[in-house]
Amino acid sequence: MSLTTRLAWRNLGRNRRRSAITAAAVAFALFFAILIRSLQLGIYGHMIDTVVGGMAGYVQVADSAYWPSQNLDVALAEDPEWLDQVAADPLVATATPRLAGFTLLSHRSESAVAQWTGVDFSREDSDYWTSRLIEGAFDEVDESGPYPVWLGRYLAESLHASLGDTLVGMGQGYQGSIASDLMIVAGTLRLGNPELEKRVAILRLSDAQSYSGAYGLWGTIMVTPKNTAASIQASQALAQSHPMTYASWSSWEERMPELKQAIQADSAGGIIILFILYVVISFGLLGTMIMLANERQREFTMQIALGVKRRVLAGMVFVEALLMGLLGAAIGTFMGRGVVYYFHVRPLRLLGDVASAMEQQGWEPVLPPTMDWSITWTHGSIVLLLTLLASIWPIIVVYKSPSIHR
Amino acid sequence: MALIELHNVIKVYESQSGSITAVDDLSTSFDEGEFTAIVGPSGCGKTTLLNAIGGLDRPNKGQIHIDGVNIVDLKDRDLIDFRLQHIGFVFQAYNLIPVLTALENTAFILELQGVNKKDRDARAMELLEAVGLADRANNRPNQLSGGQQQRVAVARALASRPRFILADEPTANLDSKSTETLLDIMAQLNDKEKTTFIFSTHDQRVIDRARRIIPLEDGKIK
């Protein structure tokens, strides 16, 4: 161990309380930063995953005129060969066709507007749908009976419909035709987004085509890239490599700018809170470093007199701050990651008025934190940098120290 | 040629109450192997003179030659290096590094000079034996008495075999017994290692043991 490191390490033990307080300040800051950001980004991730990943698609292929009206009349002709090529692209995790429209659903005396969506379960991630099923099943379907339908749980509630109940659907079909038929409730779904759960009715793709008269047509193709965080880039790259006549590719950020802006606005609030936390912690760290410098000024002077180069002393103070910062960062990471892991496994579910307020905004009242390591690295680096910036004070004192003590 | 030569050294401190001339046009020299005490009452300029010789404080005028090098002309960085290589210091308040053991404190200058661990530990141990503290080698300063700490400081000053040692009131905080022990040690080392010692003191016990005495008054040699 070099002299600088040895002195720095031993100096930590000289005023154990101060070293502990400094490390605790760093640990506290990092703990809260990890917790706040993990919860915040986790909620956004959950929302994007449920709204975008499950229903709209991170990347979507549709007729150029499909958005924003989502008009069934401009559906695309089925092209399974092209779809297989897209699904086999190394950038793509899944590619699956959808067909969607709006209808009125009735059960006994209750009616509700629903968005029916035709899903090709053979191409979908089966775990995704199974995990969202509250009751019912996807594979126990009577082929001779009405179309099986899986309802969002709030839609089922509003229709007072339960498993096995028959519904009447009526709405506009393809090219001005009437879409009307019976449906049987085959299951209810928790989709992770209250707005979706109020309106979504899932049909099998073939049933949806038959119901709407859009035979041999797809409304959209939902593409999930392997790197969902880079959906814009994936959308652009896939559009180049898999062109389709009349079709256009779009990422969810392009189709839903309001969702992206809402996330950015909310995220900015979290960043401001963290900024305030960091400012408070920084002053605490600076205060500690000023005390350290004042206590040691005579010692610095004496060592300079003996022939210790100022850069050696500056290095010693820097390493001392670094060690305190690393110790605090390690504790903060351990605590932060531990608590985040606990809530990742057992997400906080909000109750009462707070839950209602969140649901009204279309957010599921659940707080699932993300386990993304980049949050730990980013905020760990920030608190470490703040500690090292605070160490500039004693370094300045070292460089200003005279070689005699008057 | 003398080891240290001072030519017309003047050091003036400015204060709110006016200028104070601590060293007033002083010229003298010190030869190798001297055991010299600079004596005088408080405020006569002893410490200022010692600081100037040690390159800790720059005179306003005059030249200080050590081994032919005028240290007044050296830059701060070069002066630090010069002190490290050529001068040993013993301070009134011991000034040991509290987080290092007696052995590590003694070897501290050698470590700064880049001497390998084996050689510096051997030299430090030899000196701790010489000052009678071999059995306290692994003790930290707060586990040593004032006299023991000052003996470690002397060992530290001697470790790198400097050309001379400047000791500013080295016995000021010591009791009679510790003072006698310390003076015996320094006198022996002066004989044995031929190290030049220059003290500032007004302690009669030190003055009695010095081989040369430089009396100062108002910054001048009486």
Tens of pLDDT, residue by residue over B44-54, are 889 999 999 99
d(CA B168, CA B50): 7
Interface with chain B: mutation pick from A317, A403, A405, A406, highest number of B CBs within 10 Å: A403
Task: Work out the number of other CB atoms within 10 angstroms of the CB of residue A47.
Answer: 19
Cα-Cα-Cα-Cα torsion B74, B80, B85, B86, nearest 10 degrees, comes to 60
pTM: 0.74
Please give the average per-residue pLDDT across B124-147, as a whole number: 92
Task: Compare all CA atoms of chain B with the CA of A8 and give the residue at the minimum distance.
Answer: B99
Structure tokens at B18: 């006016």
Locate A85 and state its tokens.
């090529």
Closest to A95 measured CA to CA, from A215, A271, A313, A244:
A244
Residues of chain A with Cβ-Cβ distance to B23 below 8 Å are none
**Chain segment A258-299, per-residue pLDDT in tens:** 888 888 888 899 899 999 999 999 998 899 899 989 988 888
The pLDDT of A158-173, averaged and rounded, is 94
Closest Cα partner for B91 from B76, B74, B107, B105? B105
**Position A70 pLDDT exceeds 80:** no
Q: Which residues of A touch B100 (CB under 8 A)?
A: 7, 10
- Mean pLDDT computed over A101-115: 94
Give the total residue count for chain A: 406
Q: Write down the pLDDT at residue A362.
A: 63
Calpha distance A79→A205 (Å, rounded): 14
pLDDT at A343: 93
Q: What are the pLDDT digits (tens) for A310-367?
A: 999 999 999 999 999 999 999 999 999 999 999 999 988 888 888 877 776 666 778 8
Chain B residues whose CB is inside 8 A of the A14 CB are 98-99
CB contact under 8 Å between B57 and A304, yes or no, is: no
Residue A139: what pLDDT?
83
Instruction: Provide the total of helices (H) and of strands (E) in chain B, helices listed first.
Output: 7, 10
Q: What confidence tier does B100 reach under pLDDT thresholds 50, 70, 90? A: very high
- Give the separation between CA B201 and CA B212, rounded to whole angstroms: 13
Name the pairing type of β-strands A133-136 and A178-189. Answer: antiparallel
pLDDT at res. A195: 84
- Kindly state the average pLDDT of the residues B213-218: 92
Q: How far apart are the first and last CA of chain A?
A: 34
Does residue B52 contact residue B126 with C-beta atoms inside 8 Å?
A: no
Task: Give the C-alpha separation, A358 to A363, whole Å.
Answer: 5
Instruction: Report the residue from B79, B85, B95 with minimal CB separation from A302.
Output: B95
Q: A84 falls in which pLDDT band (50, 70, 90)? A: very high
Answer yes or no: are the C-beta atoms of B39 and B49 closer than 8 Å. Answer: no
Nearest Cα residue in chain B from A7: B99
* CA distance to partner chain A, nearest, from residue B188 (Å): 23
Contact B169, B201 (CB under 8 A): yes
State the alpha helices, DSSP H only, in A307-372: 310-345, 352-360
Residues of A engaging B, defined by a Cβ cutoff of 8 Å: 3, 7, 10-11, 13-14, 299, 302-310, 312, 403-404
Interface residue of A306, A313, A399 to substitute, partner B, most B CBs within 10 Å: A306
Give the H/E segment covering residue A40: helix A16-47
Strand partners, B88: B165
CA–chain centroid gap for B165, Å, is: 4
In chain A, whose CA is at the least distance from the CA of B86? Answer: A307
Do the Cβ atoms of A84 and A120 come closer than 8 Å?
no
Contact A306 B81 (CB under 8 A): no
Percent of chain B, pLDDT > 70?
100
> Does residue A404 surpass a pLDDT of 70?
no
Facing B89 at nearest CB: one of A14, A305, A312: A305
A293 to each of A153, A301, A391, how far by Cα in Å?
A: 64, 11, 9
What's the gap in Å between the CA of B138 and the closest CA on chain A?
Answer: 15
User: Do residue A404 and residue B95 have CB atoms under 8 angstroms apart?
Assistant: no
| Largest interatomic CA distance in chain B | 54
Question: What's the pLDDT score for residue A119?
Answer: 93
Residue for token pair 């600088």 = A4
Contacts of B114 in chain A (CB under 8 A): none
Query: Which residues of B are less than 8 Å from A3 in CB distance?
Result: 111-112
Contact A299 B97 (CB under 8 A): yes
Chain A contact probe: residue of B23, B108, B158 with most A CBs at under 10 A: B108
* Section B54-79 average pLDDT: 90
Chain B residue numbers touching A306 (CB-CB < 8 A) = 83-84, 89, 108-109, 112
Partners of residue B89 in chain A, C-beta under 8 Å: 305-306
Q: Which residue has the higher pLDDT, A108 or A70?
A: A108
Radius of gyration of chain A (CA): 30
Which residue is closest to A3 within chain B, CA to CA? B111
Of A244, A217, A248, nearest to A235 by C-alpha is A248
User: What does the alpha-carbon distance between residue B159 and residue A291 come to, in Å, rounded to a whole number?
Assistant: 33
Say how far apart CA A93 and CA A234 lie, in whole Å. Answer: 11
* Euclidean distance between CA atoms A352 and A357, whole angstroms: 9
Interchain proximity B99–A305, CB inside 8 Å: no
User: What band does A405 get if pLDDT is binned at 50, 70 and 90?
Assistant: low
pLDDT score at A244: 84
Residue of A nearest to B52 (CA): A404
In the structure encoding, which two tokens stand for residue B183, read together?
């003076």
B87-90/B164-168 β-pairing: parallel
Q: Which residue of B has its CA nearest to A400?
A: B76
pLDDT, residue A361, reads 65
Backbone angles phi, psi at A112, to 5 degrees: -155, 150
Tokens of B95: 């000034």
pLDDT in tens, B69-92: 999 999 888 888 899 999 999 988
Closest chain B residue to A304, measured at CA: B80
Interface of B with A (CB under 8 A): 51, 54-57, 76-77, 79-81, 83-85, 87, 89, 91, 95, 97-100, 108-109, 111-112
Say whether pLDDT at B212 is over 90: yes
Burial label, B20 (beta-carbon count in 10 A; 0-12, 13-18, 19+)? middle
What distance lies between CA A175 and its chain's CA centroid? Answer: 39
Q: What is the pLDDT of residue B71?
A: 92
Residues in chain A within 8 Å Cβ distance of B76: 403
Contact B100 A403 (CB under 8 A): no
Q: What is the DSSP letter of A78?
A: P
Candidates A11, A308, A309; nearest CB to B99? A11
- The yes-or-no verdict on residue B142 having pLDDT over 90 is yes
Asked if A303's CB is within 8 angstroms of B54's CB, the reply is: no
Strands lying side by side in the sheet with B69-70: B18-30, B4-15, B61-66, B69-70
Are residues A306 and B109, on separate chains, in Cβ contact within 8 Å? yes
